[in-house]
Amino acid sequence: MRCLCVGVLLVLMGSVSVWAKDVFDDVHILERDVARIKATGDLRGGEKLMKVVVRFRDADVMVMGNDYRYGYLTLIPYAAIETMTYSDIGGHLPDQLHRASPLYEANFDGQDQRWCTITYKQDAETAGVKLMLGRETSDVFIKTLAMRAEKVIGQHIDGVPRLGADVAFRDCRVFRTILDDDKTKTDDFACLVMMRADAFEIVGQDKNYQERFLVPYSVVRRLSYEHSNETSYMGRMPGIGAFRKAKHWFVIEGDETVALMLASEIVADFREAAQAKAGVTINAYANESRLQTPIQAAVLPPELGTSNSDGESHQVLMAAKTIRCLLGPGTRALWADGQLTRDGEARYDATQVLFFDAIDLGKQTANLHRGESVTPVRVVAGHTGLTFLTVDDATLVVTVFAQEDGQLVCVYSQHVVGASPQASQFYGVVEVGSKK
């Protein structure tokens, strides 16, 4: 017998694994029904996360158990949905901020929590589900839910509201001067950077610094990026010296100077978003003279251009001894069993930074460092920049473009031929060194 009523139904089903558009199988439901929890063999009956598959259909969203011990099915018509809320709570937060975040669950204290709640009308009563989303698919899940339900989702990142097209970045640190034991000190503190429609919002996430402040785009005079042991702005920050290892510095100059340190894996996306939001071209040289600094970089522009061979950026690129590529968004394609599978929202593995050294344009040779491996490659100079090429187990092509405005960007392509051919292409920004 098949029941078509909306609600929570017990179905006899085994473990389900599906891969398709609008289907997510890395989701868990927070089950609080004592009888259902005990039916899984857990006689304590306390709330429990259970594996489910979420399928977005034409008229409703279907949540079905993905565990042989848990075979319940929930159908939620889009028209019946009343509220939708999403809260991404990082386990890195201090206890006070972690526990104050919307949808926080005490049983998962100190852990990453990515909760999505949906409340809906069922038989004149209000019902609801609370889902824990997967780390890699949470953003796509939220976008799909909003599009299908045609309703706004209330969103929070680490307790900070995210509105509309706001872009949030963790893994940032901000330099601030604070009062500690009646003494002032300048230090770097963990923070969240929310790029809103009209301003940068910096939110402290350190046990000793939890202030928020805004930098309106309208007052931003300059945005600068450096990859070095110390930023050229350190002289304005008392008590701060050079770091032992090079850091990724991003400096906002407005009514005040705000110096941020960024994690390497967010650099490309952060710079691209900052330039787009603020409408200010990033100075990737840090000093007034571009040729005085050994390191250069750039944000990814909307279109790739060409450079005059007599241009300053082209000259710097031709004299480069080392080149470091920071890659971000891209595309992957796989022909498994003869069928094309394409991932248009792929991200490059940030641990596999592409680094070229021993560059000899006369001999057309260079070395590629990727992780622990070192590979000899051919390098060819052209009017638009440099192209690195190797054909081994896989074909790899990296082109660095020098543009008239001094911006340096790169495109990385890799082709692997075998039983299941693979291809990938990623885009990013470049740092150039003039020393070996």
Of the candidates 163, 141, 143, 166, the residue with the CA atom closest to the CA atom of residue 154: 163
**Residue in 269, 304, 275 with CA at minimum distance from that of residue 404:** 304
Note whether 150 and 176 are same-domain residues.
no
Distance CA 174, CA 28 (A): 35
Question: What residue numbers bound the domain in which 423 lies?
Answer: 312-433
Average pLDDT estimate for 54-76: 92
Report the candidate in 299, 297, 315 with the shortest Cα–Cα distance to residue 307.
Answer: 315
pLDDT, tens digit, for every residue of 141-153?
A: 999 999 999 999 9
Shared domain for 171 and 255, answered yes or no, is: yes
Same domain, 20 and 124: yes
Q: What DSSP string runs through 14-78?
A: ------STTEEEEEEEEE--HHHHHHTT-TT---EEEEEEEEE-SSEEEEEE-BTTB-EEEEEEG
Q: Give yes or no: residues 129 and 150 share one domain.
A: yes
Q: Do 63 and 134 belong to one domain?
A: yes
Q: Is 297 part of any domain?
A: no
Residue 422: strand pairing partners: 334, 416
Question: Is residue 269 one of the residues assigned to a domain?
Answer: yes
For residues 344 and 276, state if they share a domain. no
The last residue of one of the domains, among 100, 130, 162, is 162
- Higher-pLDDT residue of 425, 231: 425
264, 353 Cβ separation under 8 angstroms: yes
In angstroms, the CA 382 to CA 398 distance is 13
| Number of domain units in the chain | 3
3-state secondary structure of 283: strand
Q: List for the chain the helix, strand, coil content (%; round to 5).
A: 15, 50, 35
Alpha-carbon dihedral angle through residues 223, 229, 235, 236, given to the nearest 10 degrees? 40
Last residue of a domain, one of 142, 162, 182: 162
Nearby residues of 265 by Cβ (< 8 Å), 6 or more positions away: 171, 350
pLDDT band, very low/low/confident/very high, at 15 (cuts 50, 70, 90): very low
Domain end marker among 95, 129, 162: 162
- Does residue 163 contact residue 198 with C-beta atoms inside 8 Å? no
- Which CATH number belongs to the domain containing residue 97 in this structure? 2.30.29.30
Give the pLDDT confidence score for residue 21 in this predicted structure: 63
- Whether 21 is covered by a domain: the verdict is yes
* Gap between the Cα atoms of 231 and 257, Å rounded: 12
pLDDT grade, residue 363 (50/70/90)?
confident
Return the number of other C-beta atoms located less than 10 Å from residue 5's C-beta.
Answer: 8
**More reliable by pLDDT, 183 or 161:** 161
Separation of alpha carbons 192 and 50, rounded Å: 31
d(CA 194, CA 207): 19
Say whether both 43 and 181 belong to one domain: no
Together in a domain, 112 and 172: no
Helix (H) or strand (E) holding 149: helix 138-149
To the nearest whole number, what is the mean pLDDT of the chain? 81
Q: Are 157 and 196 part of one and the same domain?
A: no
pLDDT given at position 231: 66
- Contact predicate 246/262, CB 8 Å: no
Please tell me the distance from the alpha carbon of residue 309 to that of residue 293, in angstroms, as a whole number. 20
Average pLDDT over residues 148-159: 95
- CATH code of the domain in which 394 resides: 2.40.128
Burial 276-290 (b: 16+ CB within 10 A, else e): ebbebebbbbbeeeb
| Torsion from C-alpha of 286, 289, 292, 293, nearest 10 degrees | 20
296 domain-assigned: no
- CA dist 425 and 409 (Å) reads 14
> Under a CB-based contact definition with an 8 Å cutoff, are residues 122 and 113 in contact?
no
Please tell me the least confidently modeled range out of 69-83, 223-237, 274-288, 399-413. 223-237
- The stretch 359-370 carries a mean pLDDT of 86
Query: Which tens digits make up the pLDDT trace of 103-123?
Result: 999 988 889 999 999 999 998
**Average pLDDT for 257-263:** 91
**pLDDT tens digit string along 177-230?**
888 777 777 788 999 999 999 999 999 999 989 999 999 999 998 898 887 766
Terminus-to-terminus CA distance in the chain, angstroms? 75
Mean pLDDT lowest among 45-54, 254-263, 289-298:
289-298
With cut-offs at 50, 70 and 90, classify the pLDDT of residue 299.
Answer: very low
Tell me which DSSP letter residue 288 carries: S
- Per-residue pLDDT averaged across 348-376, rounded? 82
Same domain, 150 and 219: no
For 117-131, 195-209, 254-268, 317-331, which range has the lowest pLDDT when averaged over its residues? 317-331
**Among 67-71, 184-188, 199-203, 294-298, the least confident range:** 294-298
Whether pLDDT at 9 is above 70:
no
Residues 20 and 87 in one domain: yes
Model confidence at 242, in pLDDT bands (50, 70, 90)? Answer: low
Residue 290 lies inside a defined structural domain of this protein:
no
C-alpha torsion 103→106→109→112, nearest 10: -30
Give the DSSP H/E element, type plus range, for residue 217. none
Q: How far apart are CA 30 and CA 104, in angstroms?
A: 12
Q: What's the pLDDT score for residue 290?
A: 31
Residue from 220, 213, 222, 164 nearest 193 by CA = 213
Provide the H-helix boundaries in 169-246.
none
The pLDDT-based confidence of 325 (bands split at 50, 70, 90) is: confident
Identify whether residues 12 and 154 lie together within a single domain. Answer: yes
In this predicted structure, what is the pLDDT of residue 292? 35
Determine the Cα–Cα distance for residues 299 and 408; give it in Å rounded to an integer: 8
CA angle 299, 273, 207 (to 5 degrees): 115
pLDDT tens for 87-108 read: 999 999 999 999 999 999 998 8
Side-chain-side CA neighbours of 149 within 13 Å: the count stands at: 24
5: pLDDT strictly greater than 50: no
